Chains A and B, each alone.
Chain A
Amino acid sequence: MATSLALADQVRPAPRLASFRLGGWLWSGLLLALLAFLVLYPTFMLLYGALSGTNPVVDGFNLSAVSLDNFIEVLANPNVHFALVNTLVVCGGGTAIAVVIGLGFAWIVVRTNTPCKALIATAGLVPLFVPPLVAGVAWTILGSPRTGLINTVLAWLGTDWRLNFYSMPGLIAVFGMYYAPYVYMFTSAALRNMDPSLEEAAEISGASALGTLRTITFPLIAPAIIAATLLSFIVMLGIYGIPAVLGAPANISVLTTYIFNLTAWSPPLYSTAAAVAILLMIVTGLLVVLQQMVLSGKSFTTVAGKAFRPRSLDLGRWRYFTLALAIVYLLVVAVLPTLALVIAAFRKYLFFRGAASLFDLKQYGLQHFDNLFSNPLTTLSMVNTVEVALITAVAGGVLAFAIGYTVNRTNAPGRRAVDLIATLPVAIPGLVIGVAYLWAWIGLPGGLYGTIWILALAFIARFMPDTVKVLSTSLMQIHRELEEAAAGSPPSARSCCRWRGPA
């Protein structure tokens, strides 16, 4: 009897194909050593720094210096409280908006007969491809209180109404718009994988359409909604780019920007930054654990065996309304920001006498690109970026394959520890990894600090969970396809869900 999880997660373990004893220990030892070097050592240094206020490499290792004093002092700092409260408000508000948009999109795409669904499905994912900093920059151009393009147009229209994105609501709105896809992906997968006869049974039992939604559909996808809510909250917690550009002008600091500011002072307050980073890591870690509990605990089983044809609601004329909603979202999240960037990049000055001057072609030129590339740092940064990315991709890919293979396809000893440590960085925001690596390597003379390699190593550690997951999924897939081919059935028409980000 094939039963499968209706929700994401839980790929069943493949049979252990290879087995080795001494070699296995050596191999696992090697992997564990690499992971310890990449993940555990920097984390430990960060923790030590936060608790002792010293750097053991620079100041010498001294266990007596370790106390909670530094940490408690940081926790008592009103600036930290301010940043923490701001963080929770911004991420909470942003998550609420993301859930509304994401759920709406999921419902439109999976359950209605709205036209151009393929376009809408793609539109729902577009924000994933926009780097947060670029989104932030675009929205400063659009939404700054005085010179923003939106306000210029509003003034031209003769209204007194103004939008100010340098504000808490502005931050919340941008966060919500750009992280809605996480909720969308999760909930649309849950809706798609739900056996439609569950709802049909309710309707036959006498429930109205709304009653079915309330008593059956919603409770069944609730775990997916909760998991998606937590995930988008977790991701927002670690974002630096958007609050850095939108929050700074209004003096709204969040934990990430606060951590960075601490290190930008002179002298830099590294140990304070480490303590705040630990705080951020604890909050993130708790949420990750909570999310995993939601995903594994409340997995409603349904009978697999045939692919479901999701029920599609005939919206009648209202389907053009849902289409319009999707187009508005695409407009706000992709078209407007791109337009803003294009205008700002090609226009000589960002001052407008009126909206009509927007179309004055004499105002446009390539001078900013000339300036951009006249700075040698620009090309240097591009070369460096590609170089770091290549090193990260190749080295990280190989390591992730080694880990994924060991964990999923062998019975090497210690593979659970390997899996656990490789998953650990999920709970560490990028900024915190940055602080940890800085702390771990800054004092070592002639070391990695200041080279391209430290960036690559930090990236490898940071993206390890994602990479291993992608590889594990494909390794599982191979196994399943082989099995199905052997059983004489066609390879998976069944949908399969993945960890966190369902396809």
Chain B
Amino acid sequence: MSAELRVERLRKVFATGAPAVDDVSFAVGAGEIVALLGPSGCGKTTTLRCVAGLEHPSAGVVRIGGATVSAPSEGVLVPPRARNVGMVFQSYAVWPHMTVEQNVAYPLRQRRTSRAEIERRTAETLKLVGLSEFARRPVVSLSGGQMQRVALARSLVYEPALLLLDEPLSNLDANLRLRLRDDLRRIIKRTGVTALYVTHDQAEAAVLGDRVGVMRDGRLLQIGPPAEIYNRPAELFVAQFTGASNLLAGRVLDRDGEFGTVEAPSGHRLVAWLPPRVSAGAAVRIAVRPENVRFGADGAGGSGPNRFTARVLVQRYEGAQTVYSLAVLGGKLAALELGSSARYAVDSEVDIVLPPALCWAYPDEEDAVANR
């Protein structure tokens, strides 16, 4: 039976340094997958480990299926083994002294399940993850991807209320990662288990999560469906961490509902979406995804907002796509053209459109992601 997970005002302070998790609240509905996304050290793994019971929270409440499993203020701390959760680790954590079958059967044996039932469910779960023919193999003879499937089977075999996944794909090589990523979602959805998935990879979060939560410095900045995270980032950090690498400086001239007019240093004006906290006169930085820059005189009339003429500074051909660096609005703009033929040469002039809904202006003082 899958169950709802509620995390309320969770806080974890280690002996030294700033809080690892700072006032984090969110809920995962029964059968839903929530992906926690953030750079390393943002507190996503610590949050997950607090839910698992491997870390003892400093404050806040964790409830699984309505039952309180962690509440320091009430002195409640249910040990991991009594929480009925499954967990998949980054390092696979399959037991090297056992076979595939023994690994998967272990949780059932701890639960004193009957031998016939153990055999049945182990076989069933191994079939689910596609490892039936490897059952008798020593687990160390498997590849990394197969080991992670064993770990997944082990965490699902006892039908836990909640599945926790801690960067399960980051030790795999790129090709395998993509394949297992799609398999993971399919398998989790088939079992219907509630899942909390931690990753630093935005694409992984978007593919796997029904909703994505972005964390930074112990705080949950935004949580919502992937499309919302990608198209309406609440903060500059969220925008940048999910790939909006272009930043254009400007000043808000006026505001009209959700949108406003921003003047670039070059004097050009563009229309951008403004978060509620930005008002006229504010210095802003506009974040734009390279893949949202549209080439050509969009539409027949060639009128409408945010049309500019840019000059191609650099063209980087990547085979399936081409990355351009454009000089526009008194700054540089990276733009992406899909397809294997690059249409714009260096030094040529090109018309571009920056769709207002996909230009987001954030107050200038907000921190950007370093080194991106």
Binding site for B on A (CB under 8 A): 1, 6, 195, 197-198, 200-208, 211, 215-216, 219-220, 300-303, 305
Which chain A positions have C-beta within 8 A of B87?
Answer: 200-201, 204
Which chain B positions have C-beta within 8 A of A305?
Answer: 91, 171
The reply to whether A302 and B110 form a contact with Cβ atoms under 8 Å apart is no
The answer to whether B107 has its CB under 8 Å from any CB of chain A is yes
Binding site for A on B (CB under 8 A): 52-54, 79-81, 83, 85-87, 89-97, 106-107, 110-111, 140, 144, 151, 154-155, 158, 171-173
Given A1-B171, A200-B54, A204-B85, answer yes or no on A303-B110 (Cβ-Cβ < 8 Å): no
Other-chain residue from A1, A206, A220 in contact with B81 (beta carbon distance below 8 A): A206
Please, could you name 24 A-B residue pairs with CB atoms under 8 Å apart, sorted by A? A1-B171, A1-B172, A1-B173, A195-B91, A195-B93, A197-B90, A198-B95, A200-B54, A200-B89, A200-B93, A201-B87, A201-B94, A201-B95, A202-B106, A204-B52, A204-B54, A204-B87, A206-B158, A207-B106, A208-B81, A219-B97, A220-B97, A300-B140, A305-B91
The reply to whether B92 and A303 form a contact with Cβ atoms under 8 Å apart is yes
The reply to whether B154 and A303 form a contact with Cβ atoms under 8 Å apart is no
Shortest CB–CB separation between residue A216 and chain B, in angstroms?
6
A302 to B54 CA separation, bound complex (whole angstroms):
20
The reply to whether B110 and A207 form a contact with Cβ atoms under 8 Å apart is yes
Which chain A positions have C-beta within 8 A of B172?
Answer: 1
Which chain A positions have C-beta within 8 A of B52?
Answer: 200, 204
The reply to whether A300 and B97 form a contact with Cβ atoms under 8 Å apart is yes
The reply to whether A211 and B93 form a contact with Cβ atoms under 8 Å apart is no
Q: Apart from A201-B87, A206-B81, list 5 A-B contacts with CB within 8 A.
A: A204-B54, A204-B81, A205-B107, A220-B97, A303-B92
The reply to whether B144 and A1 form a contact with Cβ atoms under 8 Å apart is yes
The reply to whether B86 and A204 form a contact with Cβ atoms under 8 Å apart is yes
The reply to whether B96 and A303 form a contact with Cβ atoms under 8 Å apart is no
7 closest cross-chain pairs (CB), A and B? A206-B110, A205-B107, A300-B96, A197-B93, A201-B93, A197-B89, A303-B91
Given A198-B93, A301-B96, A303-B144, answer yes or no on A204-B110 (Cβ-Cβ < 8 Å): no
A220 to B52 CA separation, bound complex (whole angstroms):
24
Which chain A positions have C-beta within 8 A of B111?
Answer: 206
Q: Which residue of B lies closest to A218 (CB)?
A: B97
Which chain A positions have C-beta within 8 A of B110?
Answer: 205-207, 211
Shortest CB–CB separation between residue A265 and chain B, in angstroms?
52
Which chain B positions have C-beta within 8 A of A211?
Answer: 110
A340 to B151 CA separation, bound complex (whole angstroms):
57
A262 to B98 CA separation, bound complex (whole angstroms):
52
A345 to B144 CA separation, bound complex (whole angstroms):
63
Which chain A positions have C-beta within 8 A of B107?
Answer: 205-206
Which chain B positions have C-beta within 8 A of A201?
Answer: 87, 89, 93-95, 151, 154
Which chain A positions have C-beta within 8 A of B173?
Answer: 1
Which chain A positions have C-beta within 8 A of B144?
Answer: 1, 303
Which chain B positions have C-beta within 8 A of A302?
Answer: 91, 96
A205 to B83 CA separation, bound complex (whole angstroms):
10
Shortest CB–CB separation between residue A297 and chain B, in angstroms?
12
Shortest CB–CB separation between residue A203 and chain B, in angstroms?
5
A300 to B53 CA separation, bound complex (whole angstroms):
27
The reply to whether A203 and B81 form a contact with Cβ atoms under 8 Å apart is yes
The reply to whether A301 and B95 form a contact with Cβ atoms under 8 Å apart is no
A203 to B96 CA separation, bound complex (whole angstroms):
16
Which chain A positions have C-beta within 8 A of B95?
Answer: 198, 201-202, 216, 220
Which chain A positions have C-beta within 8 A of B81?
Answer: 203-208
The reply to whether B80 and A220 form a contact with Cβ atoms under 8 Å apart is no
Which chain A positions have C-beta within 8 A of B91?
Answer: 195, 197, 302-303, 305
Given A300-B140, A303-B91, answer yes or no on A220-B96 (Cβ-Cβ < 8 Å): yes
A197 to B144 CA separation, bound complex (whole angstroms):
16
The reply to whether A204 and B80 form a contact with Cβ atoms under 8 Å apart is yes
Which chain A positions have C-beta within 8 A of B79?
Answer: 203
A198 to B54 CA separation, bound complex (whole angstroms):
12
Q: Which residue of B lies closest to A220 (CB)?
A: B97
Q: Which residue of A lies closest to B54 (CB)?
A: A200
Shortest CB–CB separation between residue A317 and chain B, in angstroms?
19
A145 to B127 CA separation, bound complex (whole angstroms):
70
Shortest CB–CB separation between residue B167 and chain A, in angstroms?
11
Which chain B positions have C-beta within 8 A of A220?
Answer: 95-97
A208 to B112 CA separation, bound complex (whole angstroms):
13
Shortest CB–CB separation between residue A305 and chain B, in angstroms?
7
Shortest CB–CB separation between residue A350 and chain B, in angstroms?
52
Which chain B positions have C-beta within 8 A of A301?
Answer: 96, 140
Which chain A positions have C-beta within 8 A of B97?
Answer: 219-220, 300
Which chain B positions have C-beta within 8 A of A6?
Answer: 96
Which chain A positions have C-beta within 8 A of B155?
Answer: 204-205
Shortest CB–CB separation between residue B369 and chain A, in angstroms?
21
Shortest CB–CB separation between residue A498 and chain B, in angstroms?
21
Which chain A positions have C-beta within 8 A of B154?
Answer: 201, 205
Shortest CB–CB separation between residue A357 and chain B, in angstroms?
51
Shortest CB–CB separation between residue A113 and chain B, in angstroms?
11
A195 to B151 CA separation, bound complex (whole angstroms):
15
A197 to B88 CA separation, bound complex (whole angstroms):
10
Which chain A positions have C-beta within 8 A of B53?
Answer: 204
Which chain A positions have C-beta within 8 A of B171?
Answer: 1, 303, 305
A234 to B96 CA separation, bound complex (whole angstroms):
29
Which chain A positions have C-beta within 8 A of B140?
Answer: 300-301
The reply to whether A205 and B106 form a contact with Cβ atoms under 8 Å apart is yes
Which chain B positions have C-beta within 8 A of A206?
Answer: 81, 107, 110-111, 158
Which chain A positions have C-beta within 8 A of B158?
Answer: 205-206
Shortest CB–CB separation between residue A307 and chain B, in angstroms?
12
Shortest CB–CB separation between residue B75 and chain A, in angstroms?
16
Which chain A positions have C-beta within 8 A of B89?
Answer: 197, 200-201
Residue picked from A1, A205, A215, most chain B C-beta under 10 Å: A205
A207 to B82 CA separation, bound complex (whole angstroms):
9
Which chain A positions have C-beta within 8 A of B85?
Answer: 204
A305 to B111 CA separation, bound complex (whole angstroms):
33
Shortest CB–CB separation between residue B238 and chain A, in angstroms?
26
Q: Which residue of B lies closest to A3 (CB)?
A: B144
Which chain B positions have C-beta within 8 A of A216?
Answer: 95
